[in-house]
């Protein structure tokens, strides 16, 4: 629903009874404030209300110290916003920051128990190598270096064959 | 969904899902269009080429009409999320609908196995076997610390989601359902509605599933469900049904016959109303208080009265008002036929 006075979406809705007649008002935040039916203050964060202050972020190990994932480039901040990791390498990259979150989500569980792939162990190094090759391949294709891409694709295929 | 299976008076279906990602690729949030295409190619090739089921369908979702996608959602073969958007993705479905493998949903692969009634062991055995087959074809992202690596850290580890769909009308009627829900939540289990993820439970149907995947093995989780929580809930529901039949039979029969009356005479039926009435009808059938309607017919009606199914049956698209009319007409006919040809 649009504001009665402009094209902004109406966020304040009022019903008044004047002389036995029902009057409805639908206003955007700005017009509601101008009409005096809403007080803007309550909605605004404190740092927008005060005119002068010193802002000090408490040291958050999360945002400041965690390096972006080297494999996919995802930052810890981006992960916090989306809730989804960028690649398998993110688990190792965000290891420390992720741990408390994992423990909360899994009733204290922080280490895998259960099924493992048949060739687990030797896998992890090869998986990293595969990831790297595929990234280079992606770049080669993007920059139209097709010969290089073909070579990389051969390496990927070779590596995938080796596993079995 | 349509068949019976063990404990089918209370348990509608058992479902096991494994989340897997193909090694060497980023998760989907960071994958390029070309990589998503490649993932679909790889997954389709391996899934269709490994004899997982006698016949498998492949549905390329961006190419399929909206009505088809909706139909797959209504059959619980894909998630609502997977039915939307135009990024490369698809689903492989065993022709008997016991297996559905979603490709490029939140993870590269979501291996899903569905069984009627209480059959989690069988369901997991099948999912595990499919996982083994696919693992022989491609490498899955895995670390010895974190297990199978998934896009969302809440699925990491076993990547397993065990869900059981329950029909608990007596616990709803007696009001004891809240206790059951609280107990399930205390055990860190999620309780969802008929339409799954993101829905409140609708009416008398509850989907109970695990929320944790790291630090406990698949078999421990399965045991929790099979020896612990599900038999307990079945027992409570049975006790509530017996209590109703013993002490408030007239109330119980009123509910059941009122539902039958409305279903066989209404001229307009909304989806929610149909779901609520069919639930009471199902209660009457499973308790032997409605003798000339069979459970299979009732179970089928749950499926067929959903919007996309109705429109397929009608052979045309219907707006909301037309759907309510057509649904009422369809249910009247079905129940009329079922009653006159029934054995009762
Ligand atoms: Zn305005
Ligand atoms: Zn990453």
Tell me which chain B residues have a C-beta less than 8 angstroms from the C-beta of A108.
Answer: 215
Nearest to B13 by CA among B120, B161, B93: B120
- In this prediction, residue A56 has a pLDDT band, given cuts at 50, 70 and 90, of very low
Asked, for residue B243, whether it belongs to a domain, the answer is: no
Top-ranked range on mean pLDDT: pick from A48-57, A124-133, A149-158, B91-100: B91-100
Type and span of the H or E element at B110: strand B109-116
User: Cα separation of B160 and B42, whole Å?
Assistant: 22
A51 CA to middle of ligand 1, Å?
26
* Contact between A114 and B152 using a beta-carbon 8 Å cutoff: no
For residue B140, what is the domain's CATH number?
3.30.590.10
Look at residue A158 in the predicted model and tell me its pLDDT.
81
- In this prediction, residue A106 has a pLDDT band, given cuts at 50, 70 and 90, of very high
Q: How many beta-carbon pairs under 8 angstroms link A with B?
A: 148
Asked, for residue B132, whether it belongs to a domain, the answer is: yes
B29 lies in the same domain as B66: yes
User: Cα separation of B79 and B91, whole Å?
Assistant: 10
**B268-303 tens-digit pLDDT:** 999 999 999 999 999 999 999 998 899 999 999 999
The answer to whether A152 contacts chain B (CB < 8 Å) is no
> B interface mutation test: which of A72, A90, A117 has the most B CBs within 10 A?
A117
Asked, for residue B1, whether it belongs to a domain, the answer is: no
Look at residue B242 in the predicted model and tell me its pLDDT.
96
Domain boundary pick from B208, B238, B268? B238
B256 lies in the same domain as B233: no
B134 lies in the same domain as B180: yes
- In this prediction, residue A57 has a pLDDT band, given cuts at 50, 70 and 90, of very low
B260 lies in the same domain as B306: yes
B148 lies in the same domain as B263: no
User: Cα separation of B82 and B108, whole Å?
Assistant: 12
CB atoms within 10 A of CB B244: 20
Three-class SS of residue B113?
strand
Averaged confidence pLDDT in chain B: 92
- Count of domains observed in chain B: 2
The shortest CB-CB distance from B212 to any of A90, A109, A117 is to: A109
Paired tokens of B29: 């949030």
More confident residue, B3 or A68: A68
Three-class SS of residue B324?
helix
* Contact between B139 and A133 using a beta-carbon 8 Å cutoff: no
Residue labelled with tokens 């990024």: B87
Domain hosting B288: range is: 249-343
B296 lies in the same domain as B183: no
The shortest CB-CB distance from A109 to any of B131, B135, B157 is to: B157
Q: How far is A68 from chain B (nearest CA, A)?
A: 13
B132 lies in the same domain as B256: no
> B interface mutation test: which of A69, A112, A139 has the most B CBs within 10 A?
A112
Three-class SS of residue A3?
coil
State the pTM of this model: 0.80
A89 CA to middle of ligand 2, Å?
5
Ligand number nearest CA of A35 is: 1
A41 CA to middle of ligand 1, Å?
18
DSSP per-residue string spanning B30-77: G--HHHHHHHHHHHHHHHHTTTSSSSEEEEEGGGS-HHHHHHHHHTTS
B175 lies in the same domain as B291: no
Paired tokens of B232: 């307990």
Domain boundary pick from B212, B238, B264? B238
Paired tokens of B82: 């997977």
Q: How far is B205 from chain A (nearest CA, A)?
A: 26
The 3-class secondary structure across A37-88, one letter per residue, is CCCHHHHCCHHHHCCCCCCCCCCCHHHHHCCCCCCCCCCHHHHHHHCCCCCC
B22 CA to middle of ligand 2, Å?
14
The answer to whether A97 contacts chain B (CB < 8 Å) is no
**Chain centroid offset of residue A140 CA:** 28
Asked, for residue B102, whether it belongs to a domain, the answer is: yes
Asked, for residue B3, whether it belongs to a domain, the answer is: no
H-assigned helices in chain B: 33-48, 66-74, 80-83, 120-135, 169-174, 177-186, 218-223, 230-247, 249-265, 271-286, 295-304, 307-314, 320-341
B158 CA to middle of ligand 2, Å?
20
* Contact between B32 and A138 using a beta-carbon 8 Å cutoff: yes
B113 CA to middle of ligand 2, Å?
30
**A11-41 tens-digit pLDDT:** 777 766 666 666 777 887 777 777 766 544 4
Domain boundary pick from B177, B204, B238? B238
B132 lies in the same domain as B210: yes
- In this prediction, residue A121 has a pLDDT band, given cuts at 50, 70 and 90, of low
Residues 104-133 of A with CB under 8 A from B: 105-118, 120-121, 123-124, 126-127, 130-131, 133
Look at residue A28 in the predicted model and tell me its pLDDT.
79
- In this prediction, residue B312 has a pLDDT band, given cuts at 50, 70 and 90, of very high
Q: What is the ipTM metric for this complex?
A: 0.87
B280 lies in the same domain as B142: no
B45 lies in the same domain as B93: yes
Q: How far is B225 from chain A (nearest CA, A)?
A: 17
Look at residue B344 in the predicted model and tell me its pLDDT.
38
Tell me which chain B residues have a C-beta less than 8 angstroms from the C-beta of A87.
Answer: 25-27, 30
User: Cα separation of A164 and A122, whole Å?
Assistant: 12
CB atoms within 10 A of CB B197: 14
Tell me which chain A residues have a C-beta less than 8 angstroms from the C-beta of B157.
Answer: 106, 109, 112-114
Half-sphere exposure in the Cβ direction for B172 (13 Å, CA): 16
B130 lies in the same domain as B233: yes
């Amino acid at each position: 629903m649009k504001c009665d006075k402009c094209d902004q979406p109406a966020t304040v809705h009022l019903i008044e009874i004047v002389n036995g007649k029902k009057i409805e008002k639908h206003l955007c935040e700005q017009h509601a404030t101008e009409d005096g039916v809403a007080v803007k203050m309550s909605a605004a964060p404190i740092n927008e209300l005060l005119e002068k202050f010193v802002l000090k972020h408490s040291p958050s190990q999360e945002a400041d110290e965690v390096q972006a994932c080297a494999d996919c480039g995802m930052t810890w901040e981006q992960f916090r916003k989306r809730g989804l990791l960028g690649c398998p390498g993110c688990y190792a990259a965000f290891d420390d920051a992720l741990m408390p979150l994992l423990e909360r989500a899994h009733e204290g569980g922080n280490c895998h128990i259960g099924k493992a792939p048949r060739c687990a162990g030797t896998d992890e190094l090869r998986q990293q190598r595969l990831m790297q090759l595929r990234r280079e391949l992606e770049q080669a294709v993007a920059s139209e270096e097709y010969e290089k891409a073909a070579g990389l694709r051969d390496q990927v295929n070779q590596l995938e064959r080796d596993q079995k | 969904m349509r068949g019976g299976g063990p404990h089918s008076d209370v348990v509608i279906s058992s479902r096991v899902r494994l989340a897997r990602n193909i090694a060497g690729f980023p998760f989907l949030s960071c994958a390029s269009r070309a990589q998503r295409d490649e993932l679909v190619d790889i997954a389709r090739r391996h899934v269709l080429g490994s004899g997982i089921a006698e016949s498998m369908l492949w549905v390329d979702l961006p190419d399929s009409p909206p009505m088809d996608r909706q139909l797959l959602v209504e059959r619980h073969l894909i998630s609502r999320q997977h039915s939307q958007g135009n990024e490369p993705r698809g689903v492989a479905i065993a022709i008997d609908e016991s297996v559905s493998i979603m490709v490029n949903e939140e993870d590269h692969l979501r291996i899903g196995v569905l069984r009627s009634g209480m059959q989690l062991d069988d369901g997991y055995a099948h999912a595990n076997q499919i996982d083994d087959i696919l693992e022989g074809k491609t490498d899955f992202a895995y670390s010895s610390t974190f297990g199978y690596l998934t896009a969302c850290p809440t699925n990491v580890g076993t990547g397993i989601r065990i869900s059981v769909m329950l029909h608990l009308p007596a616990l709803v009627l007696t009001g004891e359902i809240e206790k059951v829900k609280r107990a399930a939540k205390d055990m860190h289990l999620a309780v969802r509605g008929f339409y799954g993820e993101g829905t409140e439970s609708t009416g008398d149907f509850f989907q109970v599933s695990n929320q944790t995947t790291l630090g406990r093995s698949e078999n421990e989780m399965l045991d929790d469900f099979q020896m612990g929580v599900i038999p307990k809930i079945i027992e409570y529901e049975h006790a509530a049904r017996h209590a109703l039949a013993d002490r408030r039979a007239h109330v119980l029969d009123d509910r059941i016959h009122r539902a039958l009356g409305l279903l066989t005479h209404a001229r307009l039926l909304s989806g929610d109303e149909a779901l609520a009435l069919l639930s009471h009808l199902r209660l009457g059938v499973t308790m032997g208080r409605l003798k000339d309607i069979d459970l299979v017919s009732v179970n089928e009606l749950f499926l067929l009265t959903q919007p996309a199914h109705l429109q397929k049956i009608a052979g045309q698209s219907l707006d909301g008002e037309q759907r309510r009319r057509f649904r009422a007409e369809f249910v009247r006919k079905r129940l009329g036929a079922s009653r006159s040809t029934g054995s009762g």
